[in-house]
Structure formats: structure tokens, C-alpha cells
Structure 1
């Protein structure tokens, strides 16, 4: 009887140890493995994700999150196919995906307003879209680029046919404008801030200064329709942790910048800190809470894309996004 009691105690003890043994034991096994794919190399658009991982917000929701790069397949394709559970995309890319019946849904806006625009060194004297005439634009080969340039130029009585558009691929912006092109499309929160640190004056033409319809969500947090239909608890838990991460980044720019630097040591520390200081107020901006999306924003940009021949058919905007998984404030 005594031997049986000892054996029972040993079994209980071993079970307890295995469930709390830390990184290599049962605690990790009790967490649900989740994969998040970025849209690009890590930068301050992604800070809240790394904060959620480092501060344990994912773990509090029972999740073990692996953050990966998109590779050649792209984030939307990986999320749609189930090879990644969540991803980072942008409204323009997701809209085109939905029209092609790719089942990806936006579950949160990472930045409330579009912070992108056309940038050029000040000495190029590009101060309005009309000044694009006779200049060379360096892009990445997406049809949306030509349509945006055309739309902005026509609004300023410019001639889009007088712009030379070349594909500069992954060439660094600063190298490209010095060597090959006159202007390019950038996110000010990263490349614009880098220009400030370099002491290089830019002329920045924000899309939102020329058209309300171009104030779309970029980037956004996504998942696939299957998760929403079959595992909404996972989507809710993940979104809650991410929301906590971005709220921390809003409240603590310097601390959150350091978390990103520690997670991705190859990043330029000075750039990360300056970019985070600039971007943190932009995450939520004038919205009632971080992540919320307005149907009018989706409809405006969808209409613009359709009117400019970028979509084969109109999209029911309400099917492309949802606010239902954001935590209640």
C-alpha cells in the first residue's frame, strides 16, 4: 500500500513538473502555435506585434506566435492557403485579392490614415503632381502606381503621358533618386524619417492631400475566412493581444522601439527610435480605438479602384473587413 502511495505521488509530481517546465516543457506545449507573416522586412509598422510577443500578451491568450517573412509567395497567399494564420497586408492588395475570391479578411487597421506619398529630393523641384511631367518615377511594377500618378496629375492639369515610369525593384530609395529616378512612393514614417536623419530635404506629396478616396488603410492585420468561421476564439484572442501591443507602442514609443531593436538587432537603432516617435501617434490617431475600420474608407477606395480600371468587378466592401474581433474598450 505504501509503495502504491509513493508511486501515485511520483506520477502526480511528474505531471505537475511537465505542465510547468517552461520553454522546453509542457507549458509551451499547452500554448497554441500560431504563425504570423509580415508584408515586408520588420519595421515600425510592426512594432506592436513584437511588443505583444515580448511582453507576453500572446502568451496570456494561450498563443505561441512565430513571426515570419513573406518570401516570394506573399503574405496574402500564405494566409489564404492556411500556411500562415495571420498576416500583414494593405487595403489595396486585399481588395484585389477579394475580387479574385482569395479568402483573406482585414481584422484591424494598424495605422488609421495613409501615411504614404510621392517623395523626391528637394533639388528635383517636384512640388505638385503637375511637376511629375518630364520626370522619371521609380516603382515596383504594380498597375496601381500608374493610376495613382495619373489621377493626381489630372487633378492638377498635368499630363501623365509625360512621366517615365521604371521598375526599380528593391533598390534603396536614396540610391535610386541619386542615380536612376526623380521620385518614388514611400511611407514617410520610415523612409521619410530616414531622410531627416540623413539631413536630406524631401518634397513629400501625401496621397491624402489630393484625394479623400486615397486615404485607405495601409497596413492592415489579416486572417483567412476559415479561421473566422471555424475558430473565432483564436481570432479574438490574437487580435486582443495585438491590440495590447499597439496600445503599448502608442503609450511608450521609446520602450517599444527598444523592444523592436532587441527583436531585430540588424535594424538601424537611431532610425527605429526616430520612426517610432513619429509613428506612434499615427497608429490610433483620431479613431475611437486602435484597429477600428470605417466602411466608408473601404467603399471609397474600392470605388476608386473600380473607376480607374484596377478591378474587374465591384467589391462588396463589408465582406473585406470586420471590427468584431477588436477588444471592447
Structure 2
């Protein structure tokens, strides 16, 4: 595979300070004046439509009902969120399952508490005018990617599943924050990203339609984003973890029932927040990813061992993990939401 390197403007460093209110991984959780547990959740990226349920859950006092005073922090990618969670710099993280598998494989003491996006939004994204209709049309194209992230590591498996080789195209290594600019400027033909994230923003900025080749539509589906905590928190604060999982599942259920209200709840969440139209499109696309065939009709965040095994097998084959461990190595099923 041909590989070119480009350095984009770096995202400002995120300071995940313990002073934000997260308790230590052992001992008592900090409380606010009303006696609620002060809890931090670090997202996988700056707030975008996918995250609406957390803000809606705060606005509707769902987390408060479960005894939680929630602070939501922006992230800088799933890998950094997992690192921060493992280090006790945040109580909980929201991150991509492939990155979690890789982190656990590297010895990080973190576990999933439940995957909520159970069909991956991973995709190749491009302006519709590129006339890319199938994976075969990627031959000869230049695609913006970020070296080392889960998308770049699974892309070869996507190509293989569709009869392509890695030499059929060029990957241009670009910082995650610069991939959209590369496509808009014509530096690259497409980018690797979440269909629930960059595409709607790129479409609005450029004023022309964006299309997708979604991995899940072309032979490669796996678990995506979910809630996680470090193993000390899971062991020492079981009641808090149980309440956080229950509140998160309830918030997702409530947001799915009121998408417009959920998007409205994000107002002021970030200086980088997309427009309401983009947020609505992002969240609408996200809601289609909440279940596999095995979890239809169940509460958001309920997983199955079989679905976990399928995801683990994909990433073992892709080389992201050296050994396919049992699901319990990566996921604590004991906190599964009810209802």
C-alpha cells in the first residue's frame, strides 16, 4: 500500500485532570452539595450528535435520579479516552470497542460495561460527485486516514472482504482533525471515518452531498462505541457502576423517543459543536446502530457473548490483538441494563 504523510493542525491538548470531580478508583466517591456522586464521563471526541443522550439525560435529570452528578468531558479519540480511564483520570469513558480490545491487549486495566453502538458506523466517505458506487470503485483513489487508529487497522480487512488488495489505492496519513479539510480541498478523494460524524459536517461545509461505503453494508460489521471503566472502579464501586450503566441505558431510551429534544439538549456543549441540522442528521444515523439481530427489543447497552466473539475474531484476524481472548476479558456482563 502506498502511504503519504501530511501533518494537519493538531487538536489542542485535552487536560483530563482529576480535579474535575472524579473520585479515586478506590475509596469514597466525591459528592456534591446535594449528596449526589460527582462522576466524570470522557467522550471519544468533541461532542457531536451521537452524544445527545448524555446531555438529554442530564437535562431530564435521569442521571440525577440515579444519584449521579454527571460532568461530560470532550475526548481526543477513543485510544486517549481508554488511556485516561485506565489511569483513573476519568470515572467512565465512551470509546470504540476495537480501541478497547487493543488497550486490554496492551495491559490496560479497563473493561466494557456494555456496547451501545452495536453496528459499526465505520465507512469510506466522499462527495457524491466522485461517483463511487462500490468498493471496486476505490481503485486508484487517495484516502485520508489516521495511522494507528482502529479504522486504519480494519480497512485492510474491509478491502479483503471486497476482493481488493492494499496496493489498489493510496492512503494519506493525516491527523484526525484534518481529514475533512483534505477531502474538501481535493487533496484526497475520500476519508475513513464514522458515517455518524464527519459526513454530515463535510456536506454542510462544502455545500454538496456526501456518500458512503459503510463497512457494515459491505461484509464487515463489528461492535463500536460503548461505556467503559477501569477495573478498580468496577471492583470497588459496584453500586456506582450499576447506577451509571442503568442511567446511561435509560438516557439512550429517552433520547431515542425524543430525538429533537435530545439534540436541543446539546446546546452550548462545545465551541466546536456542529449546527442543529448536522447534529440531527448525526443522531438519526446513530439510532440505527443500537442493536444487532440478537439484541432487538432489549434495552440499549445489552450485549451477547456471540456478538462479542464475532467482533473479537475480526480484530484478531486484523492483527489488532495478538490473541482472541474470551469476551469476559474485555467485557463485564454483570452490569447489563434491565428492561
Length-normalised TM-score, structure 2: 0.80
Contact 1:111–1:220 under 8 Å retained in 2: yes
Does the alignment pair 1:139 with 2:149? Answer: no
Q: Which residue does the alignment assign to 2:4?
A: none
1:323 lines up with 2:333 in the alignment: yes
Could you tell me which of 247, 250, 257 is aligned with 2:256?
250
Q: Which has the larger radius of gyration?
A: 1
Q: Secondary structure at the match of 1:260?
A: coil
Mapped partners of 1:152, 1:277: distance in 2: 25
In the TM superposition, what whole-angstrom CA distance separates every residue of 1:118-142 from its partner, at most 9, and x where no partner exists?
A: 1122232322223222111111112
User: Which residue number corresponds to residue 187 of structure 1?
Assistant: 194
- Structure 1 pair 307–37 and aligned structure 2 pair: CA distance change class (3 A): same
Hey, what's the Cα distance between the residues in 1 that align with 2:122 and 2:151?
A: 12
Distance 2:122 2:172 in 1: 19
> Is the Cα contact below 8 Å between 2:86 and 2:108 reproduced in 1?
yes
CA gap 1:130/1:323 in 2 versus in 1, 3 angstroms: same
**Structure 1 segments unaligned to the other structure (5+ residues):** 1-25
Candidates 300, 315, 325, aligned match of 1:290: 300
Q: Give structure 2 stretches of 5+ with no counterpart.
A: 1-30
SS of aligned partner of 2:123: strand
Aligned pairs for 1:163-312 within 5 A:
163-169=169-175, 170-173=177-180, 175-194=182-201, 200-211=208-219, 214-264=220-270, 267=273, 268-284=275-291, 286-312=296-322
Partner Cα distance (2:256, 2:51) in 1: 12
SS at match of 2:71: strand
Q: Could you tell me how far apart the structure 1 residues matched to 2:222 and 2:71 are?
A: 28
Taking only aligned residues, the RMSD between alpha carbons, in angstroms, comes to 2.5
Match of 1:60 in 2: 65
For 2:160 and 2:76, locate their aligned partners in 1 and report how far apart those are by CA, in whole Å.
Answer: 36
Distance 2:162 2:61 in 1: 50
Q: CA deviation at 1:113?
A: 1.5
Q: 1:287 to 1:98 in 2, by over 3 A?
A: farther
Residue 103 of structure 2 is aligned to residue 101 of structure 1: no
* Matched residue, 1:6: none
Q: Give the superposition deviation at 1:71.
A: 5.2
Post-superposition Cα deviations, 1:219-261, rounded to whole Å, max 9, x if no partner, equal: 1111111122111100011111111211111000011110112
Identify the structure with the greater helix proportion: 1
Q: Is the 8 A contact 2:152 2:192 kept in 1?
A: no
5 Å-filtered alignment, 1:76-95, equals: 76-95=82-101
Residue 111 of structure 1 and its aligned partner are, at CA, apart by 1.9
**Contact residue 32 and residue 69 of structure 2 kept, 8 A:** no
What residue number does 1:127 align with?
Answer: 133
1:6-45 aligned within 5 A: 28=33, 30-45=35-50
Conserved in 1, the CA contact under 8 Å of 2:180 and 2:202? no
Candidates 75, 79, 95, aligned match of 1:70: 75
Residue 278 of structure 1 deviates from its aligned partner by: 3.6
Mean CA deviation greater in 82-91 or 117-126: 117-126
Report if aligned partners of 2:301, 2:337 keep a CA contact under 8 Å in 1.
no
Q: Say how many residue pairs are matched.
A: 302
- Helix, strand or coil: the match of 1:310? coil
Name which of structure 1's ranges 297-306 and 198-207 shifts more when overlaid on structure 2. 198-207
